[in-house]
């Protein structure tokens, strides 16, 4: 059933309640209201841990009732190693105790699994002895349970969540006793069975190395106490390791992460791979396409130990750590990939190392615990708020929705007394609750007013303006899903909104519900009809993607079947081509993103395969371009990959050749975002999920003449699952969405004159 949950989450942008499993019955409490926007830039103290600790782990949770909270587990105070764990609530800025682990541990690993539970493995259980034991934290129950033990005791190893949902653990040491050997072995944890199995061994034994999952699905292991040796790539398809480029500077106890550019940044650590050696200020970049390392700008001071954090701005935060002369640092700095340079970013207030630094759903980074200069353990925690470019005079707040909503639709009315107004309808309004309500935005006054409610509550539906027949200018709303005890059910009903009367009327029901895609046909015998395809169908024990396709006739108000797609899919895109044919691209099939694409010909009512995307993706955007050398092509960008991480790349489809090109990347990864075709032919991408629990304020514009993206002014609020509507006045109205982990009423406007 995990895959069923994944389908719903990606297809509809639904709350994680759908996957919390286990019976229960309705009624999770609504998400708390979002906190006020944080001040831009700088550090501020927040609530302190209940227990001072260092060498612990920190993991942001995704399942209600603790979704968005951060789990801290284990660590020590210099004498005792802890079993205790606690949760940080970013909304209340407080810590509360949660269930204790069965095994005390420090310098262990913690991995968020696809089902929302957390796997901890290994670590020191005494000052010198590591453990092979592992256990699972259940965020719903707040308790730990044992799972299978690793084949080897290990500490200072790495743990990497792979694209198939398994976990790769590599390297480390079994103890710190004299004569201890470093491990080159690796093993795989299967969450379904709870068992570990050995996989290929690295060519070089390593401890305190880094491991980074690449977009290719391979894992890059770099450095460690191994001297000047090649870094290595693990291929999950073969279970084998292969050498790749050599670091410019051998290092261990460093930081590493994947940048939006697709390159890997490695920074700091200690020289020569030996603990206690001189800390490093240098940084370098790994290029997966070339398999090589090159230097980039150094940090202002050497740092060993801090965890790098990729901020929603696309820059990288490094804070604290051990610096030259065994002095601890309180300072922080930020790496800007575009310039390859670091800039000072204030002080944490207290020098610390062996702490955790973690990106929260608010877009802030939380540094928690650690050890300070006098060797005392810290309970304090500090929040870093990234500095954002000025937004005054660019994005501007406008009237709030009357009902908070996400995964809704917002459609411009084209005729009648309400022409030029925007209809927002349906969506998720609270955890486990969809709404039938609707409201109208009046650009003249910047206000929302309620209008007639739909017959059926729904979210993740489609909304299309009809252009022919007796229902011309009415809005057809169809499909979607409704919450149900333990999950969601597809909705196959459809209804029409009359902008003159402000009322809804039922129309023919489609054969399939769920998260479908719809497009207005513009040519051939079916011009004026609505093509709706894909979605979800019920099967024993859950739902599967559908390959069906149907046509809605606005004259008769009835649906008729047309040829089925070649690939069943949901959370995909349908895009009208200049030829009048329709391109279906990407989406989920059998619960995983696909590269498959196909063309629907309205004249024959048939689908034919076309070139495949370079990158499998779902929850992406697709827009037909109208200007410049890319006019007539289709832009596909962003989306989610196999494990739900946002994608940076974009691709262009050429209808003349049926092929895709992959010319570059967005300025940052994003999924569940909006893309608006602007009057000048550009495309405005706004917001979206940056990671599973973090939404972004950033926005960027695609220039069809240059074929490149550039950042524009940031929104006032980070959001995902929102809507964006081009107004007749030339502004873009963004409304609702998930803000601070809850459906929102907030709306804002982007003036398209801003570069």
CA distance 317 to 257: 11
Helix (H, G, I), strand (E, B) or coil at 7: helix
Q: Which residues contact 253 (CB under 8 A, 6 or more apart)?
A: 208, 269, 270, 275, 304, 305
pLDDT at 197: 98
Q: Which residues contact 532 (CB under 8 A, 6 or more apart)?
A: 462, 478, 479, 510, 516, 517, 518, 549, 550, 551, 552, 559
User: Rg for the chain (alpha carbons), in Å?
Assistant: 26
Question: pLDDT band at 539, cuts 50/70/90?
Answer: confident
- In this structure, what token pair is assigned to residue 254? 């460093």
pLDDT at residue 23 tops 60? no
Question: pLDDT band at 273, cuts 50/70/90?
Answer: low
List the CATH number of the domain containing 153: 2.120.10.80
Please say whether the beta carbons of 636 and 597 come within 8 A.
no
Does the bond joining 231 to the residue before it have cis omega, within 30 degrees of 0?
Answer: no
- 19 domain residue, yes or no: no
CA distance 198 to 182: 17
Average pLDDT taken over every residue of the chain: 88
Strand partners, 589: 592
What are the pLDDT digits (tens) for 300-316? 999 998 889 988 777 89
Q: Token match 């007749």: residue?
A: 728
- 300 domain residue, yes or no: no
**Where does a domain end: 201, 226, 244?**
201
Question: Which of 303-307, 392-396, 433-437 has the highest mean predicted lDDT (pLDDT)?
Answer: 433-437
pLDDT at residue 389 tops 50? no
**What sign results for the dihedral spanned by CA atoms 344, 689, 160, 109?**
positive
Domain span at residue 59?
A: 50-201
**Where does a domain end: 176, 201, 226?**
201
- 307 domain residue, yes or no: no
pLDDT at residue 706 tops 60? yes
Average pLDDT rounded to a whole number, residues 580-593: 94
| Closest CA relative to residue 379, chosen from 390, 391, 368, 388 | 368
pLDDT at 753: 54
Least confident among 339-343, 444-448, 517-521, 523-527: 523-527
- Backbone phi, then psi, for 116, in 5-degree steps? 95, -10
Helix (H, G, I), strand (E, B) or coil at 405: strand
pLDDT at 432: 78
Max CA distance (Å), the chain:
86
- 377 domain residue, yes or no: no
- Concatenate the DSSP letters of all residues of 469-501 into one string: STTTT-EEEE-BEEEETTEEEE---EEEEETTT
pLDDT at 228: 64
Least confident among 61-75, 200-214, 388-402, 684-698: 388-402
Alpha carbon 548 to its chain's center: 29
- 408 domain residue, yes or no: yes
CA distance 617 to 595: 7
- 165 domain residue, yes or no: yes
| Closest CA relative to residue 477, chosen from 427, 440, 419 | 427
What are the pLDDT digits (tens) for 56-105? 999 998 787 887 899 999 999 999 999 999 999 988 999 999 999 999 99
- For residues 54 and 678, the model is more confident at 54
- For residues 261 and 698, the model is more confident at 698
pLDDT at 653: 96
**Where does a domain end: 201, 226, 254?**
201
Q: Token match 């920190």: residue?
A: 58
Q: Which residues contact 4 (CB under 8 A, 6 or more apart)?
A: 487, 541, 542, 543, 591
What are the pLDDT digits (tens) for 615-653? 999 999 999 998 778 888 999 999 999 878 899 999 999
- 16 domain residue, yes or no: no
- Concatenate the DSSP letters of all residues of 81-133 into one string: B---EEEEETTTTEEEEEPPPSS--BS-EEEE-TTS-EEEE--BSSSSBB---
Average pLDDT rounded to a whole number, residues 324-341: 93
- In this structure, what token pair is assigned to residue 527? 């011009």
Average pLDDT rounded to a whole number, residues 175-191: 92
- In this structure, what token pair is assigned to residue 82? 């802890």
- 574 domain residue, yes or no: yes
Average pLDDT rounded to a whole number, residues 129-143: 96
CA distance 475 to 518: 13
Element containing residue 597 per DSSP (H, E): strand 597-601
pLDDT at 643: 78
Q: How many domains does one find in the chain? A: 2
Buried b (16+ CB within 10 A) or exposed e, 509-526: bbebbbbbbbbbbbeeeb
What are the pLDDT digits (tens) for 647-682? 999 999 999 999 999 988 998 899 999 999 987 788
């Amino acid at each position: 059933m995990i895959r069923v949950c994944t389908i719903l989450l990606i297809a509809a942008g639904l709350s994680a309640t759908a996957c919390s499993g286990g019976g229960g019955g309705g009624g999770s409490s609504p998400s708390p209201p979002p906190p006020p926007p944080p001040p831009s830039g700088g550090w501020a103290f927040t609530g302190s841990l209940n227990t001072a600790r260092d060498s612990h782990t920190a993991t942001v949770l995704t399942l209600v009732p603790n979704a968005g909270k951060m789990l801290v587990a284990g660590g020590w105070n210099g004498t005792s190693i802890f079993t205790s764990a606690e949760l940080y609530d970013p909304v209340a800025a407080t810590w509360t105790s949660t269930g204790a682990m069965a095994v005390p541990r420090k310098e262990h690993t913690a991995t968020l699994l696809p089902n929302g539970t957390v796997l901890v493995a290994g670590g020191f259980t005494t000052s010198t002895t590591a453990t092979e034991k592992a256990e699972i934290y259940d965020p719903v129950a707040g308790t730990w349970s044992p799972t299978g033990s690793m084949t080897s005791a290990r500490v200072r190893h790495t743990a990497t969540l792979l694209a198939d949902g398994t976990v790769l653990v590599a390297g480390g040491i079994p103890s710190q006793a004299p004569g201890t050997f470093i491990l080159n072995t690796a093993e795989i944890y299967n969450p379904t069975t709870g068992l570990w199995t050995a996989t290929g061994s690295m060519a070089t034994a390593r401890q305190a190395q880094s491991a980074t999952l690449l977009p290719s699905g391979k894992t890059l292991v770099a450095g460690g106490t191994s001297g000047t040796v090649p870094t290595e790539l693990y291929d999950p398809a073969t279970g084998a390791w292969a050498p790749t480029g050599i670091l410019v500077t051998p290092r261990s106890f460093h930081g590493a992460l994947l940048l939006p550019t697709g390159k890997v940044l490695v920074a700091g650590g200690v020289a020569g791979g030996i603990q206690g050696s001189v800390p490093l200020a240098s940084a370098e970049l790994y290029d997966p396409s070339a398999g090589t390392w090159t230097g980039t700008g150094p940090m202002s001071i050497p740092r060993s130990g801090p965890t790098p954090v990729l901020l929603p701005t696309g820059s990288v935060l490094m804070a604290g750590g051990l610096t030259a002369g065994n002095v601890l640092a309180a300072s922080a700095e930020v790496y800007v990939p575009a310039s390859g340079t670091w800039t000072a970013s204030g002080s944490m207030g207290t020098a610390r190392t062996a702490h955790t630094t973690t990106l929260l759903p608010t877009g802030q980074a939380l540094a928690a615990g650690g050890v300070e200069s006098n060797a005392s353990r810290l309970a304090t925690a500090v929040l870093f708020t990234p500095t954002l470019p000025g937004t005054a005079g660019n994005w501007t707040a406008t009237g709030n929705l009357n009902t908070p909503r996400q995964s809704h639709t917002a459609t411009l009315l084209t005729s009648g007394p309400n022409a030029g107004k925007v209809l927002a309808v349906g969506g998720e309004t609270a955890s486990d609750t969809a709404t039938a309500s609707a409201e109208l935005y009046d650009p003249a006054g910047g206000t929302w007013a309620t209008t007639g409610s739909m017959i059926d509550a729904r979210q993740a539906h489609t909304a299309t303006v009809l252009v022919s027949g007796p229902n011309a200018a009415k809005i057809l709303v169809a499909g979607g899903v409704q919450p149900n005890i333990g999950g969601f059910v597809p909705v196959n009903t459809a209804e029409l909104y009359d902008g003159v009367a402000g009322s809804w009327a039922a129309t023919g029901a489609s054969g399939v519900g769920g998260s479908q895609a719809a497009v207005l046909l513009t040519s051939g015998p079916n011009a004026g009809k609505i093509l709706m395809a894909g979605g979800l169908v019920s099967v024993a024990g859950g739902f599967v993607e559908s390959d069906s396709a149907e046509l809605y006739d606005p004259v008769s108000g009835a649906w008729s079947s047309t040829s089925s797609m070649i690939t069943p899919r949901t959370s995909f895109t349908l895009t009208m081509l200049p030829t009048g044919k329709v391109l279906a691209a990407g989406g989920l099939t059998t619960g995983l993103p696909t590269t498959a694409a196909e063309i629907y010909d309205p004249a024959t009512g048939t689908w034919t395969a076309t070139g495949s995307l370079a990158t499998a993706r779902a929850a992406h955007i697709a827009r037909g371009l109208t200007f410049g050398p890319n006019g007539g092509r289709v832009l596909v960008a962003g989306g989610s990959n196999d494990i739900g991480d946002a994608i940076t790349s974009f691709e262009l489809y050429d209808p003349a050749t049926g092929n895709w090109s992959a010319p570059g990347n967005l300025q940052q990864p994003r999924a569940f975002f909006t893309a608006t075709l602007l009057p000048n032919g550009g495309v405005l991408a706004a917001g979206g999920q940056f990671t599973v629990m973090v939404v972004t304020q950033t926005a960027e514009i695609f220039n069809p003449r240059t074929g490149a993206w550039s950042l524009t002014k940031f929104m006032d609020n980070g959001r995902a699952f929102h809507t964006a509507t081009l107004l007749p006045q030339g502004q873009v109205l963004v409304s609702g969405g998930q803000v601070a982990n809850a459906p929102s009423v907030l709306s804002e406007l982007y003036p398209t004159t801003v570069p």
